[in-house]
Structure 1
Amino acid sequence: MNDPIMLEVFKNKLSAIAEEMGVLLQRTAFSPNIKERKDFSCAIFDNKGRLVSQAAHIPVHLGSMPLSVKSALELVNFEEGDAVILNDPYRGGTHLPDITLVSPVFIEGKPAFFVANRAHHADVGGISSGSMPLSSSIFQEGLVIPPVKLIEKGKIKKEIIQIIKSNTRTPEEREGDLFAQISANLTGIKRLKELVSNYSLQTVLQYMEALNDYSEKMMRNRIKQIPDGTYTFHDYIEDDGLGNKDIKISVEITVSKNDVSLDFTKSSPQTQGSVNAVRAITVSAVYYVFRSLIKRDIPTNDGCFKPINVITKKGTVVDCTYPFPVSAGNVETSQRIVDVVLGALSKAIPEEIPAASQGTMNNLTIGGINPETGRPFTYYETIGGGMGASSISDGESAIQSHMTNTLNTPVEAVEFEYPFMVERYCIRKGSGGDGLLRGGDGIIRSIKLLTDAEITVISERRRIPPYGLFGGKPGEVGRNEVIHRGRKIIEAGKFSRKLKKGDTITIYTPGGGGYGKPTP
């Protein structure tokens, strides 16, 4: 019989271990993307690769990190002191900049648990700085790392580090971030061993299983509150950056008692550009939506997702096949999958679902040579926008939403680390959709280059606005603006170009949709 007090104790202890891993990763990382923006996730798994606890980090990693762990378990024979590195999207990854490190926790000579973390590296090679190119193949996006041992029996394999460093524009930064990931896993291993020492392996495993059962019960109770039926919705990715437009994302949600099935098979075929999502991304987006429907503080673990069945079709934009490009699928298509799932659920539980948020991460990468050091630099950032209004409140303004949970890079950090001047950073007033309750406003961020550089922008909602609900107006679309040699250029949602010293890139991010008919 499980003690309910001890169940709560273990819930918080396991969560605290994952959170502590994240704190150490952030504080020891080299790149602003990790140490300032917190673009990473940390989690604990059982010896079968099932998710036990994940810190409240990046939602897009929610369903994909377990697949990376299971892939590592299938392909590698773990020994004590090992750590496996991978980023392959077709083996549980998301896109190539997201590098995952998996480490076993040996107890009594056997792997009892696994700890893992995933961090977005600012550059892993590829045809453009920042490894977020307008690509037509995964080979153009950077170095693909299958599950291989980075650490073997406690000894770091320096040749693996050297291969990674030799394929990136910023080798010292990559090495520093990898060592931060190693340190985070070592902390997780240490804390889990202390937990077993204090309570016994049998007790820890007992309460891990009990927490899984508890989360499953809570999810089934939540699904049961959604009226039985079938609900459909579709929306579009505007383009893939290579001329293909209006790429459909479609879902059919069937709720039956305390189970739910989501069918994405009517979505568009995989496309030439990089907006393709591997199945892991689609699963992550679905899990995020349903986890967010539960207002109580329950553990995020494998049990949460047992009642949820995700159906995809190979060769579609939501379940692409090797070697199609995927760099934007992780950041942009994931957002649209959330939009369509929420849109369908709004027909079932209208008072509990918000209007569309900005629906994009406004990815900006800039790379060049730093004139002060003579070394290459790569800058990567996602920029917040407006959240959709709900039945109880206006949408939040100038915030990261849905599948990203990162912070912004502070102006001071940007100007300290890079040859940039941030000329403008403010709320984009009035960009939220009107309604009984208004959508949140977007952001204006303007960066002046102090050296020649190559920029790439991957963004959405530049043509099709974030939808309002129940009479609410859509949010305003975003805009990408370049001033090149004194001439203003309105760019497409996805573009890459070389700029000169003194040129400026300004991103106007979308507002969120409104909710309900505006009052006269």
Structure 2
Amino acid sequence: MFDPVLLEVMRHRWRSIAEEACAAMVRTAYSPNIKDRRDCSAAVALPSGEIVAQAEVGTPLHLGILPAVIRAVLAEYPLETLEPGDAVITNLPYPEGPGHLPDVSMVSPVYVDGRPIAVAATTAHHIDLGGYAPGSMPLGVEEIYQEGLQIPPTPVFRLGQVDEVILRLIEQNARTRHEVRGDLLAQYAAGRTAERRVAELCAISSTELALEYAQHVLDHAERVMRDGIGRLADGVYSFDDFLDDDGFSDEPVRIAVDLTIAGEELLADFSRSSPQVRGPLNCRASAAASCLYYAAKAVIDPDLPTSAGAYRALKVKVLEGSVLQARFPAAVGNANILTDQRVVDALFGAFYQVAPERVCAACSGEMNLVNLGGIDPRTGEYFNYVETLAGGQGALHDADGGDAVHTHLTNTLNTPIEVIEQAYPLEVTEYALLPDTEGAGRFRGGCALVREIRSHADRLTVSIGADRRRFTPWGLENEHHAAGAMCYVIRLDGTRELLPTKVVTTLVRGERLRIETPGGGGWGDPHQRDRELLAAEVAEGLISPQRAASVYGLDQ
């Protein structure tokens, strides 16, 4: 038996440790991608590798993959072989690990009274780790060797001292070596912060009590998830969605799920999905599992504490050699950005059939990746600006979707214009909401955004990872999709060149890159939309008078 009040206190204590560790990483990071956008995550786990608590600041995709990362590291470096102050890093997606090479995970032992009682784990998206193009997420590549430096589980700190040989080897393979060093040190600081706070928790409550209630936290999360699943109608719920292409051919990539609810357990079977593809959209089963963890938590109990206990009732099936369980050395760099978002769309489409009031229509469906890199003429050093741009959120049965927000697996912030222009030889010439990009409905989807950037570098390498141009974000209980992704280069003579959604290209000084993200799908009949609200949106410029009349039936 356990004390329910103490359980709640201990749950919040464990979570606060993960939150503070993540905050330490953000505060001490070098790159704007972490310190401003917060493209990082932190968790605290038991020696078994089961995660007790995760920082809500982080991205859901990172958090769902971290259990696989911890398993992979501990398989090579058992916890009892690590000493206080040690830290092991890895970025290998194969066989289990982070989703792509820029995501470097660090795992550290947490010692209390001379014995390891827990594990601190972080993942941070580093802005470059070598490879074909700045940012290490190129399109048009076929194998992981083209994507950047691969780091197997490797001790980079021993007894609190950094291994300079290993760190210099990593720096030599990264274009932005100073940021890579600083961000790795920030991850280490996060792990040491977690260790100190766990020791303080054990000093207050005793080590045995802290560990006992960590197990209660896991068991409680399992009970809540199983109870929530049990309240859904048993059955098999299927949904198919598609990525436009893989960057090499025009062949759509199918993401299909058969969601089976049986009693208090849930199985997501992705066996009908496409075989692995030539382009870098492949992923591994741990990513599909992460998508399921996120979707199930969102649908069944959004307030459920994030811990491994909640995952015990959830199962994933993928086929070896499929796009969701690719064989080495298939390229994987943009799966986090594109494929995994589509997995979530498919899961929500299936959940709609059993719990329609708990899901939203399709969101923008991709993270709208932009990597801009080259030589900064002010310093002569390499730079790389990376950002995932927000899009429209899908509408709900009783509410509009948010305009220009990060959705589903991405929980990052935008990079402020001032930071971009100070840190890089770039100029933001436009940053705004895009009118008429929403999915129409009684409740409309969110509007997309546009970000236009002028290069002040002599030669700028651009990597774009986008989608939803062909298969635009779908609505629910209507046939009105949202606008899709558009990407342009505006040349020096003012001509506008439409780019593919998955491309590596170059700009010269003075040319501009224009990215228009997808909107969010709508819900219900647009003719039933509140007239006063619609008129206000027309006055604000979010919806044009022509669209209001032709799609929503607004009298002029």
Question: Which category of TM-score, normalised to the shorter sequence, fits these structures?
Answer: over 0.9
Residue 508 (structure 2) pairs with residue 500 (structure 1): yes
- Taking structure 1 as the reference length, the TM-score comes to 0.98
- Per the alignment, residue 365 of structure 1 pairs with 371
Q: For residues 472-511 of structure 1, what are the structure 2 equivalents within 5 Å?
A: 473-486=480-493, 487-511=495-519
Q: Which amino acid aligns with 1:488?
A: R
SS of aligned partner of 1:99: strand
Q: Which range moves more in the overlay, 346-355 or 260-269?
A: 346-355
- Per the alignment, residue 83 of structure 1 pairs with 87
Q: Which amino acid aligns with 2:221?
A: S
For the residues of structure 1 that align with 2:271 and 2:500, how far apart are their CA atoms?
29
SS of aligned partner of 1:89: coil
Post-superposition offset of 1:291: 1.1
- Per the alignment, residue 115 of structure 1 pairs with 120
SS of aligned partner of 1:298: coil
Contact residue 402 and residue 446 of structure 2 kept, 8 A: yes
- Per the alignment, residue 132 of structure 2 pairs with 127
Q: For residues 260-339 of structure 1, what are the structure 2 equivalents within 5 Å?
A: 260-295=266-301, 297-339=303-345
For the residues of structure 2 that align with 1:354 and 1:326, how far apart are their CA atoms?
28
For the residues of structure 2 that align with 1:430 and 1:399, how far apart are their CA atoms?
16
Q: For residues 382-401 of structure 1, what are the structure 2 equivalents within 5 Å?
A: 382-401=388-407
Q: Compared with structure 1, are the counterparts of its residues 296 and 365 closer, same or farther at alpha carbon in structure 2 (3 Å cutoff)?
A: closer
For the residues of structure 2 that align with 1:429 and 1:128, how far apart are their CA atoms?
33
- Per the alignment, residue 11 of structure 2 pairs with 11
Q: Which amino acid aligns with 1:101?
A: M
Structure 1 residue runs of 4+, over 3 Å off?
A: none
Post-superposition offset of 1:347: 1.1
SS of aligned partner of 1:368: strand
2:222 aligned residue (208, 216, 223): 216
Post-superposition offset of 1:66: 0.9
For the residues of structure 2 that align with 1:281 and 1:338, how far apart are their CA atoms?
11
SS of aligned partner of 1:117: strand
For the residues of structure 1 that align with 2:302 and 2:28, how far apart are their CA atoms?
32
Post-superposition offset of 1:410: 0.4
Deviations, residues 200-248 of structure 1 (Å, cap 9, x unaligned): 1110111111111111111111111211110100111111112252011
SS of aligned partner of 1:283: helix
For the residues of structure 2 that align with 1:473 and 1:220, how far apart are their CA atoms?
35
Contact residue 474 and residue 513 of structure 1 kept, 8 A: yes
Residue 141 (structure 2) pairs with residue 141 (structure 1): no
For the residues of structure 1 that align with 2:433 and 2:338, how far apart are their CA atoms?
22
- Per the alignment, residue 526 of structure 2 pairs with 518
SS of aligned partner of 1:499: strand
RMSD: 1.1
- Taking structure 2 as the reference length, the TM-score comes to 0.92
Q: Which amino acid aligns with 1:403?
A: L
For the residues of structure 2 that align with 1:215 and 1:107, how far apart are their CA atoms?
26
- Per the alignment, residue 181 of structure 1 pairs with 187
Contact residue 359 and residue 461 of structure 1 kept, 8 A: yes
Contact residue 472 and residue 518 of structure 1 kept, 8 A: no
For the residues of structure 2 that align with 1:16 and 1:429, how far apart are their CA atoms?
41
For the residues of structure 1 that align with 2:196 and 2:236, how far apart are their CA atoms?
47
Deviations, residues 373-430 of structure 1 (Å, cap 9, x unaligned): 1111011000000000011100000100001000000000000000011000001122
Q: Which amino acid aligns with 2:434?
A: R
For the residues of structure 2 that align with 1:498 and 1:299, how far apart are their CA atoms?
45
For the residues of structure 2 that align with 1:6 and 1:299, how far apart are their CA atoms?
15
Post-superposition offset of 1:466: 0.5
Q: Which amino acid aligns with 2:88?
A: V
Contact residue 268 and residue 317 of structure 1 kept, 8 A: yes
Contact residue 156 and residue 163 of structure 2 kept, 8 A: yes
SS of aligned partner of 2:64: coil
Post-superposition offset of 1:472: 5.0
Gaps of 5+ in 1: none
Contact residue 81 and residue 153 of structure 1 kept, 8 A: yes
SS of aligned partner of 1:239: coil
Contact residue 269 and residue 316 of structure 2 kept, 8 A: yes
- Per the alignment, residue 70 of structure 2 pairs with 69
- Per the alignment, residue 547 of structure 2 pairs with none
Contact residue 58 and residue 403 of structure 1 kept, 8 A: yes
For the residues of structure 1 that align with 2:67 and 2:351, how far apart are their CA atoms?
26
Post-superposition offset of 1:296: 5.4
- Per the alignment, residue 541 of structure 2 pairs with none
Post-superposition offset of 1:278: 1.3
Q: How many residues align?
A: 520
Q: Which range moves more in the overlay, 403-412 or 221-230?
A: 221-230
Post-superposition offset of 1:11: 1.1
- Per the alignment, residue 546 of structure 2 pairs with none
Post-superposition offset of 1:79: 2.5
Contact residue 386 and residue 441 of structure 1 kept, 8 A: yes
Q: Which amino acid aligns with 1:86?
A: T
Q: Which amino acid aligns with 1:94?
A: G
For the residues of structure 1 that align with 2:9 and 2:92, how far apart are their CA atoms?
36
For the residues of structure 1 that align with 2:27 and 2:112, how far apart are their CA atoms?
28
Deviations, residues 20-40 of structure 1 (Å, cap 9, x unaligned): 111111111110000110000
Q: Which amino acid aligns with 1:4?
A: P
Residue 114 (structure 2) pairs with residue 106 (structure 1): no
1:227 aligned residue (233, 249, 264): 233
Post-superposition offset of 1:484: 2.3
For the residues of structure 2 that align with 1:104 and 1:257, how far apart are their CA atoms?
38
Q: Which amino acid aligns with 1:357?
A: C
For the residues of structure 1 that align with 2:381 and 2:166, how far apart are their CA atoms?
23
Contact residue 104 and residue 111 of structure 1 kept, 8 A: yes
SS of aligned partner of 2:252: strand
SS of aligned partner of 1:145: coil
Q: Which amino acid aligns with 2:361?
A: A
- Per the alignment, residue 30 of structure 2 pairs with 30
Q: For residues 140-159 of structure 1, what are the structure 2 equivalents within 5 Å?
A: 140-159=146-165
- Per the alignment, residue 54 of structure 1 pairs with 54
Contact residue 62 and residue 287 of structure 1 kept, 8 A: no
Contact residue 436 and residue 472 of structure 1 kept, 8 A: no
Contact residue 143 and residue 330 of structure 2 kept, 8 A: yes
Contact residue 222 and residue 293 of structure 1 kept, 8 A: no
Contact residue 374 and residue 461 of structure 2 kept, 8 A: yes
Deviations, residues 110-162 of structure 1 (Å, cap 9, x unaligned): 32100011000000000000101012110011000000101122221111100
